[in-house]
Each structure stands twice: as C-alpha cells, then as structure tokens.
Structure 1
Amino acid sequence: MRNHGSWTAPAIIMLALATVLSLSACGSEAKNANTDLGKGTGAVKDPASPQTVTFFSWVGNEPQMKKMAAEFHKKHPNITIKFENAPAEQAQQVLSTRIAGNTAPDVAYINASDTSDYAARGALVDLGNYMSRSEVVKPDDYVDGFRTFVTWNGRMWGLPFDGETTGLFYRTDRFKEAGIDGPPKTWDEFRAAAEKLTDVPNGKYGFEMFASEAAYYYYPWLHQAGGEPLTKDGKDIAFDSPAGRTAAAFYVDLAKYSPKDYLNSNSYDGRVAFAKGDVAMYVAGAWFAGTLADEYPKIEGKWAAAPLPEGAAGCKTTLAGDSLVMFNQTKVSDAAWLWMEFLSQPDNLAAWTYKTEGTLLPPTKSLLDGDDLAKEKPVLKPFADLMQCGVASTVANPKYPRVETILNEELSKAIYGDQTAAEALDSAAQQGRAILARG
C-alpha cells in the first residue's frame, strides 16, 4: 500500500479481492509443508552459521526498508536479508505461482486481506508459538480489525504491519461560509450538511461520488447500518438485507449533492473538484491527506479530516493494510521470524508508517493511542481514532470478486439515476446468487 501515488486504497482492495481467484487455483500449495516450523521454547536464537532470508514484496527498494535491513544485519550478523521485488499490481500473481511451484520466499509483505486465503490453503506458518516466545510481538496490542485480517481457524498466520482507514475530508472554508460549525457526526447531519453546501447554479456541491467505485464506497455505509456483503459462512449474499437496503438508499440519494461531471471519475482523479473547492466533502482513505499536501499545498489550512459520520450500528469504517507472513516452505524459519519480529518493533513500525512522508498508520493500539503520532502527523489523528471502528472480513469466497463487479455496476446505474437503490441491490443479489450457486 505504501507510496502508491495514484494506486489508491480502493484499487488495492479491488486487487486483493480479485486475487482470491488466482489464490484458489493454488489448491494445497505447499507440497513440502513442514508443520513443525516455529515449535520450541524460549527466545528464538540467532543461527550459528550464516543464513539468508528471502523477503518478497513491492517495497524492497524503499530507503526505509533498506535501512531497516541494514540495521537488522548489524544486530544479527549471521542473517542476511535478500529482497525479492515485484510490482504491486503483479505481486500476488507472481507469489501464487511461486508457491505452487515450491519456490516460495521465506517471508513476504502482502495485502493483509489475503493472509487467510494463503493460510486456508496450507501455505503459511502458524505464528502462535513464535509469538508466545516473543517479547516484542503482543497479539492483544493489534487493532481488532487487523487481527481479523490475519486470523484463520482461530490462529494468527501473519503480523499486521501497516494500514489505513476510510474517513471524511471536508473543506473548512466552505463549512465556514455555510455557517456549519464542524464536521457531521451522524447520517442526518451529513445529509443536512451536503444539502446546505450544494448550490448547483453556482457549481458548488456538498459531496463527491464516484460511480466507477460505487461498491467500495458503499461498504462503509453498509457496515454502519449493521450489514455485511456476505453471510458469515460466505455462501450467500447479505448486502440485500434490510440494513443493506437502508445503507444503499442513503448512499445513492447523496448523488443529488454531487457534481454530475465527476460521477465517472475515480477517487484519485476526482480529487481536483475537492482541491478547487467545488466539492465540500469527500470520503477517502488516509492516502488522500498525503495527496492534498503534495499536489495542492496552496489549500493548506482550508481542509481537515474527521471520522465518518455514524449510522445505526455506530462507528464503522473499512480497513486496508499489509501484513508480514512466513511461508512453510522455508528452511530458515527461526531467522525468518527474527526478521519479522525486528520489523514489528514499535520504533520500526513508527518509522515505516507515520514518521515518513506517507500517510500509513501503525496497526498497534499502543502506537495509535500514543501522543507521538498526533505530534508527528496531526492530520492522521482522525484516521487513527477510526482504527477501533475498522471492519475486516476474512470470508474468502473466490467467486465474490465477480459478484462485487456486478454490485458495482448496479449501484453505478442507481447513482446515475437509471434505477433505484433497491432495484440495484435486487439485480446484484439475483445475479450474485446465481454465481455463488455454480459449481
């Protein structure tokens, strides 16, 4: 997720969902799986002779990662980190192919939402024993949503490493002009603010929507209404529940406060309308804060960020993030764990996330709640607060990406006014159930 420029959080989530399809093709990937990896007692010790740990990611060329690898080698001279890099958009396909071919790396930095898929197919090392022997990694310190991402069958198979939440950006200058004291805290306040901030004849709007990413930006409202995309067992559609219908009706209705010229934009391209002040409110991940600071420094002081307004189910938002995993084809599991443990040290998590020019957040409660984050990167405080509200699903139905594509298309039609929100859900659910029912 780090420093992806126009590679926005929605795009990452879409990719993560799409790659479930390729993951499912791997079957029981690790033919030489060793179920004894990680067993032992006491602190994990350095190897007596030189070992190399291969580390697969799309961030191996980043200065901070190289710096941490150098520091690690000084502390553990018998362990060398060998970076194996792939572009973010190709990483999952490359990794899945390597796993199937028994050439998996020792450790990888992956989309956190993919962790359970790899674990379910027998490709990862259960980290429970390693964590029980560690003075650094404390499972209870991870934000619940990120623990959910890396948990399968009641056990943790990855270490959350970085992430972000979806929040509300708003133009403080537009709010002041409209006489609105602060960001909306409820759905009703949000709708009222959007209406008050909309002046169509003068090209001013309260909110900005993106039909091309309709499903992704529907999910926060869905969760806030108490709904889910799929049932808990992952076998049936759930977004057409009463809660889902309430969320869709509210969400689609917001299109009346959004500029029509930007409906076909994506959340990155549509940033221009917010930067110009034509749009007063904008829902996006923390990445948007960095984009505004880098590309539109002249509007500094004219915008702020806040938690999403709450629905009937209270504070809920979507999460995106990355995790560290160990593959059970490794021959150097203890050395691999020492690398994962080193990266998980609080100072390294901070250095990788909020103490950079980027806008990623650490996945631990202790860092999120600490004074240092607010001091170093004040704009991230609302997103840090939202971490406790993050919703993460580990339902891994390889057919859902196709269902989501249909949901996106149907909600998009509703946003354009071609059908109602209810009709969109009915159509998407009917087509989705047909897909899920196929053998």
Structure 2
Amino acid sequence: MSGWVVMLTGMALSQGALAKETIDFMFPAPVDGKLTTEMTRVIREYNQSQDQVEVRGIFTGGYDTTKMKAESAAKAGSPPALVIMSANFTVDLALKNEILPMDELFKFAPDKQSATDYLQKNFWPAVRQNAQVMGQTYAIPFHNSTPILYYNKEMFDKAGIDHPPRDWDELVADAKKLTDKDQGRWGIMIPSTNDDYGGWMLSALTHANGGDFNNAVYPGEVYYNSASTRGALQFWQNLVYRDEVMPAGVLNSKQIGAAFFSGKLGMAMLSTGALGYMRENSRDFTLEVAMMPAKERLAVIIGGASLVSFKGISEAQKEAAYRFLTYLVSPEVNGAWSRFTGYFAPRMAAYDTPEMKAYLEQDPRAAVALKQLQYAHPWYATYETVAVRKAIENQLASLLTDKSRKADDAARDAQQEADGLLKPYVDQTALKLP
C-alpha cells in the first residue's frame, strides 16, 4: 500500500471518528439488583456495534434524583439527549415545557412513522397513557412493572396455606398464620417510603378498593380524601396495629428483602421489577409470586420508566437519540433487559422472540405481571407530581408510626396539601375554559 493510500485511509478513519455524535444518557436503578452494571454493559455493546453514535451513560440514582439531575443539567445548558425517566413524570415535564415531543426524534425514522403510531402499534395498551400528554406522545416506554405479591412457599406449606391470598380478608388471615413475633417473623410487609414506593402501593390498594387515586385525564386533581383511599390507608394501618402482622414504621425495599431472604417474612408486596433480585437471593426456599389480592376488584398500577428527551439538544443529537432509543426498545434488547431485571417488556414483540418464550417456559413467575395487565390502571401523573405524591406518602408514614393517628385525618390533611400544590395549574386551566 502506498503512503498516499495509507494517509488517505487514516484521514477517512479520523473523519469518521470525528463524525461520531456523542450524547448523554441518564439512567436510574430504582429497584434492588445489579441494574447499573447491566445497563453499562448494554451501553458498551451499543457503542461497539456501530460507528455513528457514542452514548455516554450517566448513572443518576433513583427516579426522583434522576428527574432533578436531568432538569439541572438542562438548566445548566447541557440537556441529556435521552433519560430513563419515571413514567409518571412525563406529564409534569411536558406541562413545564422541559421535554421534546417524541416526533422531534421520530422525524429521523426511515419509514417516517410518527411517534404515536410507533407507540400504538408496538407497545402494550396499558403502558401507553403514561407516555402521552393531551394526546401527544412525549415518551416511549422502556421497562414497566406492576406490584405483585411475593411469598415463601415453604412457610405457606408449614402454616397450612394451600394458595396465595385472593382478597384482603385472605391476606390478613394468611398473614396471621405466618406471623410469630416471638421468633421475629412477620406475615406481610409493604414498602412505605416517600420515594414513590409508598404512593405507588397506596394507589394500587386504592384502585383495588374500588376507587380512583387521581383524575387520569386531568393532571390537576387527586382523590386522597375519597372513601376508597381512606379505606386503603386504614387497611394498611390495621396490618400494623390491629392485626399485628407487619412491623410499625416506614419500611423500605432493602429491609423487606433482608427479612424475606432470612426466612423472617412470609409475604411481600413489591415491584415485579425486583423479580431478578428476589430470584437471585431466595436460594434457601421456594420463591413464588401471585397477583395482587382484590378488595372490591382486581387492580394494579403501571409503574416503571419511559425514555424522554430534553429540549435544547441539537438536530444531530436528536437523530443519535432516535437511533439509541430504537435500539433500547427493540424486541431483542428490551426482552433481554426484562429477563435480567424482572420488569415486563413494554414492547409486545419481545415476547415473540425464542429467548423470551424459553424464559417464560422456564420461569412462569415472570408472566404474572403480564397477566395483571388486564386489570392495570395508568400511574398517577399530575402537575408537580413529586410534591403532590409526597403529600400523601408523608401522611401514610404518620399512620404507620403513630397508632393514635386516624386515617381520616391523614387523608384530609394530604388532600388539603395536594390541593394547594395543584392550585396554580387548576387556576391556569380554568382561565382557558369557554
């Protein structure tokens, strides 16, 4: 090869390297497990698979901190091109004009398909509503969850329980059989932290109790002081102080996992996104999962995260974000992520792959979340979602730490605080009414 050819080849390679578009990708690890390591591997594989986009992965902690860090980066002039964002933050981010409509990315689709068409044709119906605001698509689902009931099969057998609880009455009866306070063993634990686990679980219980937690089509209204929410709060407090089957105080997922793995807990309500973690650590007994028990009806809340893109990125970054987004939600990658984590794949075609079919045949527990989709409701999403959510989570914590606190008072106080937080949006939208 002549020197000129070598030089020209080197120049071409150099220009190709310079042409690679670098984008920031923020991602959380909202449930226990090795999600950070696995996502780092996914990013590395993508970067090595092509020469047009360089993804810089930025781990951002939990869902709430991810939102804060993404907003801070955007305000500082370095908006992330793509973020795995809690699915119920999409409304608030869109109302504040912080994220791009997904059509800004999908204009680079080779087939010119709109983001809404892509969403409607490729993703489970239950996950679509949280991706849209006022009929426009602002997010693409990445991983999703529902709460499910985990239980220790050996403890059930020893207590003479032959099936998981189907309703709240059976749950309490089973939990009493499993509880032995002298041995430090509890029948049931539910996470109640104010990092969205408590609010998510409470909303699921509220829907199971026959009501709505919020207005699903208007982001300025919540129903914290409704009979169904008050009943869910009372049920939760009763598990601690009346039925004595759950310890007092605010419980987080790590505490619950530790108690469960050590044989000190019979049942736990947790995200299906924790299935990989629960499966990996339940080695001394048989781990089983079941649908969430009903009260007035079977009901669960969609959880998990979607991919959003912040305003302020360049056209080249939008195209790069589109390329990486469609890679992440491809049936193969989305399915592999589901198998690793326990989240169900929102991309329907993921379940048509040979790998997913083999996985579900090998571990039917992973199909429970899918079975619950017919009873699923969208995740609550409001103006100022985090603050509005914390208004009820803080009151929930008061009920679980103070036996004398009344559920009706907690619900009333939460509603009053939430109404105050929502008032600016309510006033603003009222001005637009005819």
TM (norm. structure 2) is 0.76
Give the Cα–Cα distance (whole angstroms) in 2 for the partners of residues 120 and 364 of structure 1. 26
| Cα contact 1:185–1:310 (8 A) shared by 2 | yes
Q: How many equivalent residue pairs? A: 382
Cα 1:100/1:170, change in 2 over 3 Å: same
The answer on 1:191 being equivalent to 2:172 is yes
Measured in 1, the distance between the counterparts of 2:383 and 2:244 equals: 34
Greater share of helix: 2
Q: Does 1:306 align with 2:287?
A: no
Aligned counterparts, 1:1-400, within 5 A: 50-58=19-27, 62-71=40-49, 73=50, 77=51, 79-89=52-62, 90-128=65-103, 130=107, 133-134=112-113, 137=118, 139-210=120-191, 212=193, 214-232=198-216, 233-255=218-240, 256-258=242-244, 261=247, 263-299=249-285, 301=286, 303-325=287-309, 327=311, 329-332=313-316, 333-354=318-339, 356=340, 358-368=341-351, 371-375=357-361, 377-393=363-379, 395-398=381-384, 400=385
Q: How many angstroms apart in 2 are the aligned matches of 1:397 and 1:69?
A: 36
- For 1:404 and 1:116, the matched residues in 2 are separated by 14
Shift, 1:185, TM fit: 1.8
Question: Contact (CA 8 Å) 1:208, 1:257: kept in 2 or not?
Answer: no
Task: Measure the CA separation in 2 of the matches of 1:280 and 1:56.
Answer: 39
Q: Cα distance, 1:405 vs. partner?
A: 3.0
| Equivalent-residue separation in structure 1 for 2:170 and 2:381 (angstroms) | 33
Contact 2:60/2:69 (8 A) holds in 1: no
Q: Percent identity?
A: 17
**CA–CA separation in structure 1 for the residues paired with 2:227 and 2:44:** 50
Q: 2:130 touches 2:378 (CA, 8 Å); kept in 1?
A: yes
Secondary structure at the aligned position of 1:253 is classed as helix
Q: Deviations over 1:233-281 (max 9, x none)?
A: 3334412112222222223222244556563442212322222333211
Tell me, what secondary structure is at the counterpart of 1:361? coil
Find the aligned partners of 1:109 and 1:210 in 2 and give their Cα distance. Answer: 22
Q: 1:52 offset after TM fit, Å?
A: 0.8
Give 5+ residue unaligned stretches, structure 2. 1-15, 28-35, 428-434
Cα distance between partner residues in 1 of 2:82 and 2:256: 37
Aligned residues: CA RMSD: 3.3
Deviates more, 1:163-172 or 1:117-126: 117-126
* CA drift at 1:347: 0.9
CA positional deviation for 1:83: 1.1
Distance change in 2, residues 1:55/1:203 (3 Å): closer
**Post-superposition CA distance 1:127-162 (Å, at most 9, x none):** 356477359945233123422222112021221111
| Residues 328-337 or 246-255, more deviating | 328-337
CA contact (8 A) 2:90 2:131 kept: yes
What does residue 22 of structure 1 align with?
none
Partner of 1:62: helix, strand, or coil?
helix
Counterpart selection for 2:414 from 406, 418, 428: 428
Verify the 8 A CA contact 2:220 2:382 in the aligned structure 1. Answer: no
Using the TM superposition, give the Cα deviation of residue 184 of structure 1 relative to its aligned residue in structure 2, in angstroms: 1.3
Distance 1:262 1:97, change over 3 A: same
Amino acid paired to 1:229: F
Shift of 1:91: 3.7
Over 3 Å counting, the alpha-carbon distance change for 1:288 and 1:106 in structure 2 is closer
Give unmatched runs, 5+ long, in structure 1. Answer: 1-46
What TM-score do you get using the length of structure 1 for normalisation?
A: 0.75
Q: Secondary structure at the match of 1:270?
A: helix
Contact 1:119 1:157 in 2 (8 A): yes
SS in structure 1 at match of 2:166: coil
Cα drift, residue 284 of structure 1: 0.5
CA contact 1:262–1:270 (8 Å) conserved in 2: no
Kindly provide the amino acid, as one letter, of the partner of residue 360 in structure 1: Y
CA contact (8 A) 2:274 2:343 kept: no
Secondary structure, counterpart of 2:25 in structure 1: strand
Aligned counterparts of 1:235 and 1:178: Cα–Cα separation in 2: 47
